Structure 1
Amino acid sequence: MKRSLVLLTAAVLVAGCGGAGGSAEAPQEGGGSPAKVEIEWWHLSTADPLKTLWAQRAKEFEAKNPHVTIKATVLENDAYKAKLTTVTQSGQAPDLFATWGGGVLQQQIDAGLVKDITDDVADVLPTFTPAALSAYQVDGRTYGLPTDIGVVGFWYNKKLFAKAGITEPPATWSAFLETVQKLKAAGVTPIALAGKEKWPGHYYWAYLAMRIGGLDALKQAATDHDFTKPDFVTAGQQLKALADLQPFQRGFLGAGYGTADGQAAVMGNGGAAMELMGQWAPATQADAGEGLGEDLGFFPFPAVEGGKGSIGDAFGGGGGLAVGADAPPEAVEFAKYMTAMENHTKAVEAGGVLPVLKGEEEAVKDPNLKQVATMLAGATGYQLYLDQAYPPAVGQQVNDSVAELIGGTKTPEEIAEDITEVAMSEG
Structure 2
Amino acid sequence: MRISRRSLLGLAGAGAAGLALGACGAESGSTGRTIRWWHIANTDPMLPAWADMARRFEAGHPGVKIEITPLENEAFKTKLTTNIQAGDPPDIFHTWGGGVLAQQAEAGMIKDLTADVGGWRDQLIPTALDSYTIEDKVYASAVDTGMVGFWFNKELFGRAGVTAAPQTWAALLDVVRKLRAADVTPIALAGKEKWPGHYYWSYLALRIGGLDLMRQAAADRSFAAPEFVTAGTRLAELVALQPFQTGFLAAGYSTADGQAATMGNGKAAMELMGQWAPTVQNDSSAGRKGLGDKLGFFPFPAVDGGLGRITDAFGGGGGFAVGRNAPPEAVEFLRFIAQPDNARIEAKTAGVLPVVKAAQDAVTDPNLRSVADILATSTGFQLYLDQAFPPAVGQQVNDSVAELLAGKSSPEDVAEAITAAAKQG
CA contact (8 A) 1:129 1:358 kept: yes
Q: Which deviates further from its counterpart, 53-62 or 388-397?
A: 53-62
Deviations for 1:236-275, whole angstroms, at most 9, x for unmatched residues? 1111221222222233223332333332232222232111
- 1:189 counterpart = 2:185: yes
Q: Which residue in 1 is equivalent to 2:355?
A: 356
Q: Aligned letter for 1:379?
A: S
State the Cα distance separating 1:5 from its structure 2 match. Answer: 2.6
State the Cα distance separating 1:330 from its structure 2 match. Answer: 4.3
CA-based RMSD of the aligned residues comes to 2.7
Q: Which residue in 2 is equivalent to 1:168?
A: 164
Consecutive unaligned residues of structure 2, counting only runs of 5 or more, are: 9-25
State the Cα distance separating 1:320 from its structure 2 match. Answer: 0.7
Tell me the distance in 2 between the aligned counterparts of 1:6 and 1:352: 12
Q: Aligned letter for 1:166?
A: V
State the Cα distance separating 1:59 from its structure 2 match. Answer: 5.1
Tell me the distance in 2 between the aligned counterparts of 1:248 and 1:420: 28
Q: Aligned letter for 2:414?
A: I
Tell me the distance in 1 between the aligned counterparts of 2:185 and 2:102: 40
Q: Which residue in 2 is equivalent to 1:115?
A: 111
Q: Which residue in 2 is equivalent to 1:147?
A: 143
- 1:71 counterpart = 2:68: yes
Shift of the 133–180 alpha-carbon distance from structure 1 to 2, 3 Å rule, reads same
1:230-379 aligned at under 5 Å gives the runs 230-289=226-285, 290-350=289-349, 352-379=351-378
SS at match of 1:148: strand
Q: Which residue in 2 is equivalent to 1:207?
A: 203
Shift of the 220–58 alpha-carbon distance from structure 1 to 2, 3 Å rule, reads same
Kindly tell me the number of residue pairs found equivalent between the two proteins: 403
CA contact (8 A) 1:6 1:352 kept: no
* 1:129 maps to which of 122, 125, 130: 125
State the Cα distance separating 1:63 from its structure 2 match. Answer: 6.2
Shift of the 171–122 alpha-carbon distance from structure 1 to 2, 3 Å rule, reads closer
Q: Which residue in 2 is equivalent to 1:22?
A: none
SS at match of 1:130: coil
CA contact (8 A) 1:48 1:283 kept: no
State the Cα distance separating 1:398 from its structure 2 match. Answer: 0.8
Give the TM-score taking structure 2 as reference length: 0.86
Q: Which residue in 1 is equivalent to 2:5?
A: 4
State the Cα distance separating 1:421 from its structure 2 match. Answer: 0.8
State the Cα distance separating 1:73 from its structure 2 match. Answer: 2.7
SS at match of 2:386: helix
Tell me the distance in 2 between the aligned counterparts of 1:411 and 1:46: 40
State the Cα distance separating 1:215 from its structure 2 match. Answer: 1.9
* Identity among equivalent pairs (%): 56
Q: Which deviates further from its counterpart, 84-93 or 294-303?
A: 84-93
Q: Which residue in 2 is equivalent to 1:416?
A: 415
Between the two structures, name the one with larger relative contact order (CA 8 Å, sep ≥ 6).
1
Deviations for 1:143-169, whole angstroms, at most 9, x for unmatched residues? 211011222111111122122222111
Q: Aligned letter for 1:380?
A: T
Q: Aligned letter for 2:144?
A: D
SS at match of 1:360: helix
SS at match of 1:191: coil
Tell me the distance in 2 between the aligned counterparts of 1:208 and 1:314: 12
* 1:223 maps to which of 214, 219, 222: 219
